[in-house]
Amino acid sequence: MATADDRSMHTPDGTSHANAAAGPTRARRIAVPAITVAVLLVAWEIVVRAGMVPNFLLPSPTQVVAALVGDSALLASHAGTTLVESALGLVIGVAVGFVAAVLMDRFETIYLALDPLITISQTIPTVAIAPLLVLWFGYGLAPKVILIVLTTFFPVAVSLASGFRSTDPDMIDLMRTMGASDLQIFLQVKLPGSLEQFFSGLRISATYAIVGAVISEWLGGFSGLGVYMTRVRKSFAYDRMFAVIILISVLSLALMRLVDLLERVSMPWKQEEGK
Amino acid sequence: MATDSLNNMPGNDVPPILEARHLTLSWDGGAHVVVRDISLEVGESEVVCLVGKSGCGKTTILHALSGLTAPIEGQVLLRGADISGRPGKVSYMLQKDLLIPSKRIIDNVCLPLVIKGAPRKDAREIAAPLFERFDLAGTEQKWPSQLSGGMRQRAAFLRTYLQGNEVALLDEPFSALDAITRVDLRSWYCDMARDLGLASVVITHDVDEAVSMADRIYVLSGTPRAGVPTTVAGVVNVRREQAMAQAGVDDFALTPSYVACKRQVLELLG
C-alpha cells in the first residue's frame, strides 16, 4: 500500500541540512588537536633548551621520551601490576555497582537507605582513606583493590540506578498488558534501556580505576606505577616522573577507548540512530 | 438518516466481547472520582471510539478496560468473565509506538510471544509471514530508528496483534503522525482490524477520526479536575455501509450521514 510514510522521510533540501549538522570532518577533528599538542610540545622544548626554566625542575619533552624508552622494561613490569589491580578492582566495582543499582531499583527501601550513603561515600577523599586501608589490609593487593572498588562502583551504581528509574512508565504499562513479570520487564526493557547510562558511568569508573591504583600504590607496596613514581620522585628524576605520568594518561585513555569499543559492540542500534 | 438518535444503545443482538458495566474510576483510590457509572460494549470486529475533551479521563477508562487499574465500582467483562484489574487479557497500544530501540523490528513485534514463553526462534517464525500483510516487508532486521513514524506504528500494531487477544485498546494511536500519514493509517487500521476479526476501542479527541473509524462512538463529558466526574453524554451509532449505499458513493466522508454524525458528536461534546 502506498502511504505517506516514505514521502514524509524526504525533504527537498534534506542533504544540505544533513551536511550542516555533521560538523567538522574527521580529518579536521584529528588534525586540529594534533597540531595543538605538537605546538605546545615544541614550545616546551624551546623554553627548556633556552634555559628559561632550570632543566632539573622541568625536563624537556625529548628527555621525557628518552626516559620513557630507557626505562621501558621496568615501566612495563610496574604497569603490569597496576593494570592487574585496576582490572580486578574495576570488575568487582562494576559488579558491586550493578547489584546496588538493581537492588535500589527493585526495593524502594534499599534506594532510600543507600542513596545518601553512596553520595556521602564519594565525599571521602581517596588519599585520606588509602592509608587506613594499608593499615587494615597491609601492603599487598587487597587494600589497592578495595580502594579501586570504592571509587569505581559509584559512577556505575548511580548512572545505572538513574537509567532504571528513567524507564518510560508507559513502556512498563505496555509490558504489563502483555502479561510480563517484573523480571521480564527488567530484562527486556529496563536493562537494555539503561545501557547508555551504564557505559557513561563505566567510562568514568575506568579512569578512576587507574588513578585509584596509583594513589594506593603511593602509600605502600612493592610494585606498580605508583611505587615507581614515589621512587623517582625521591631521587629527583623528574624526566622519569613525567614519563610515568604520560604512561598513566595513556593507560587511562586506552581503557576509556576499550569501554567505547565495548559500548559500540553492545549497542549496535546506536550506530544506526546516528545516521 | 442512517445515524441513530442520541443516547441510543447499540442495536446489536450479538453479545458483546468486551463490556464495561457501571464503571466508576478514581486516580487516587477513591477520594477523587474521575469517571462515574460508565457502561460500554464492544462487539466482534467492531471499532468503538471514545471521544472526549483532553483531561476528561479517556486514558483512565482505557487503563481500567486493560486491567492495569481496578475500578472502585463496576466490572470489566471479557466474554462474560470478570477481568477487572487483571492485565494481559486485552491488548493495548499507545500514542507512542513504544518500540524498544535495542531490539530489531522482528524481535520487537515478537515480544508478546516471548513474554508468554515462546522460544525466540519459534516466535520469529510465527511473526515473519505477517510482515507482508502489515506492509512491513523488508523491515524485519531493521532497528526502530530506521523506520518512519507510520511504519513504526504499523509495527506496534503487529506487536499488538501478536498479543493474540480478541480486543485491542488504542490510546490516540495516530495523533503523533503527520496529517497525511494519519488519514492513510487509520483507514488501513480499520481494514486490517476487520480482516483480522479484532475488536477495537480507540480513544481520540479528533471528531473526524472518530466518525471515520467507528462503528459506535461514546461521547464523554465531564471535567474531573474541576470536580465534575466524566459520564457518557451519548452514544452515536455509525452505519457506514448503509449511508454509502444510500448516497451511492464509496467514501463515507461524502455522505450526509457523515456530517450528521459529526454534528451529533460535537453537540454532545458541548
ipTM rounded to 2 decimals: 0.83
Cα B26 from Cα B120, distance rounded (Å):
39
B239 shares a domain with B176: yes
C-alpha dist (Å) from residue B33 to B36, B154, B180, B196: 7, 35, 38, 36
Inter-chain touch A175–B66, beta carbons under 8 Å: no
> Residue B198: which domain range?
1-90+165-270
CA A268 to chain B, closest CA, distance in angstroms equals 8
Q: Are residues B126 and B102 in the same domain?
A: yes
Task: Point out the residue among B91, B101, B151 whose CB comes nearest to the CB of A177.
Answer: B91
Q: Looking at B106, B135, B164, which one is the last position of a domain?
A: B164
A272–B146 CB contact, under 8 Å: yes
Cα distance between residue B221 and residue B6, in whole Å: 14
Chain centroid, CA B143 distance in Å: 26
Quote the pLDDT of residue B173: 85
Contact B131, B137 (CB under 8 A): yes
A192 shares contact with chain B (CB less than 8 Å): yes
Main-chain phi, psi angles of A91, to 5 degrees: -60, -45
B4: pLDDT strictly greater than 70: no
CA distance B111 to B160: 10
Q: B186 and B172, same structural domain? A: yes
What pLDDT, on the 0 to 100 scale, is given for residue A221? 80
Burial class (CB in 10 A: 0-12, 13-18, 19+), B95: middle
User: Under an 8 A CB cutoff, do B87 and A192 touch?
Assistant: no
Q: pLDDT digits over B122-172, tens only?
A: 999 999 999 998 889 999 999 999 999 889 988 998 999 999 899 999 998
Q: How far is B191 from chain A (nearest CA, A)?
A: 12
Do residue B55 and residue B86 come from a single domain?
yes
Q: Mind telling me how many Å the CA of B257 is from chain A's nearest CA?
A: 27
Q: Please name the member of A1, A6, A180 whose beta carbon is closest to the beta carbon of B115.
A: A180
For each of chain A's 275 residues, which pLDDT tens digit applies? Answer: 344 444 444 444 444 444 445 678 888 999 999 999 999 999 999 998 998 888 888 899 999 999 989 888 999 999 999 999 999 999 999 999 999 999 999 998 998 988 888 888 778 888 888 888 888 988 888 889 999 998 898 899 999 999 999 999 999 999 999 989 999 999 999 999 999 999 999 999 998 899 889 988 888 788 899 999 999 888 888 889 999 999 999 999 999 999 999 999 999 888 877 66
Partners of B68 on chain A (C-beta within 8 Å) are: 173, 176-177
Q: At what angle do helices B179-196 and B149-161 cross, to 10 degrees?
A: 20
Tell me the nearest-neighbour CA distance from B41 into chain A, angstroms: 20
Pairing of strands B199-204, B47-51: parallel
Hey, is the C-beta of A182 within 8 angstroms of any chain B C-beta?
Answer: no
Tell me which of B142, B164, B186 is where a domain ends.
Answer: B164
Give the domain-ending residue among B164, B185, B207: B164
**What is the C-alpha separation between B115 and A90, in angstroms, rounded?**
34
Residues B62 and B171 both lie in one domain:
yes
* Cross-chain residue pair B145–A195, CB shorter than 8 Å: no
At B42, the amino acid letter reads V
Tell me how far apart the alpha carbons of residues B270 and B265 are, in angstroms, rounded to a whole number. Answer: 9
Q: What is the pLDDT of residue A235?
A: 86
Using alpha carbons only, give the angle B88, B92, B94 rounded to the nearest 5 degrees: 145
Do both B138 and B269 map to the same domain?
A: no
**Same domain flag for B58 and B156:** no
C-alpha cell at A208: 578512576
Chain B residues lying within 8 Å of A189, measured CB to CB = 100
Note whether B141 and B209 are same-domain residues: no
- Give tens-digit pLDDT for B63-91: 999 999 999 999 999 999 999 999 989 99
Task: Outline where B25-119 has alpha helix (H).
Answer: 58-66, 105-109, 111-115
Mean of the per-residue pLDDT values of chain B: 88
| A188: chain B residues, CB-CB within 8 Å | 100, 111, 114-115
Q: Has residue B217 got a pLDDT over 90?
A: yes
- Domain count for chain B, please give it: 2
What is the pLDDT at residue A16?
43
Cα separation, B231 vs B218, whole angstroms: 10
Q: Are residues B197 and B249 in the same domain?
A: yes
Considering the domain architecture, whether residues B176 and B250 belong to the same structural domain is answered as yes
Q: Are residues B81 and B8 in the same domain?
A: yes
Q: Which three cell numbers stand for residue A1?
A: 500500500
Q: What is the pLDDT of residue B19?
A: 94
Q: Confidence class of residue B13 from pLDDT cuts 50, 70 and 90? A: low
C-alpha–C-alpha distance, residues A144 and A93, integer Å: 12
In what order do the strands lie in the sheet containing B167-171? B81-82, B73-78, B18-26, B33-42, B228-237, B216-223, B47-51, B199-204, B167-171, B91-93
Whether A272 and chain B come into contact, CB under 8 Å, resolves to yes
The domain that contains B267 carries what CATH number?
3.40.50.300
Neighboring chain A residues of B170 at a CB cutoff of 8 Å: none
With a cut of 70, say whether residue B186 has pLDDT above it.
Answer: yes
Same domain, B197 and B240: yes
**What 3-state DSSP class applies to A252?**
helix
Report the Cα–Cα distance between both ends of chain A, in Å, rounded: 27
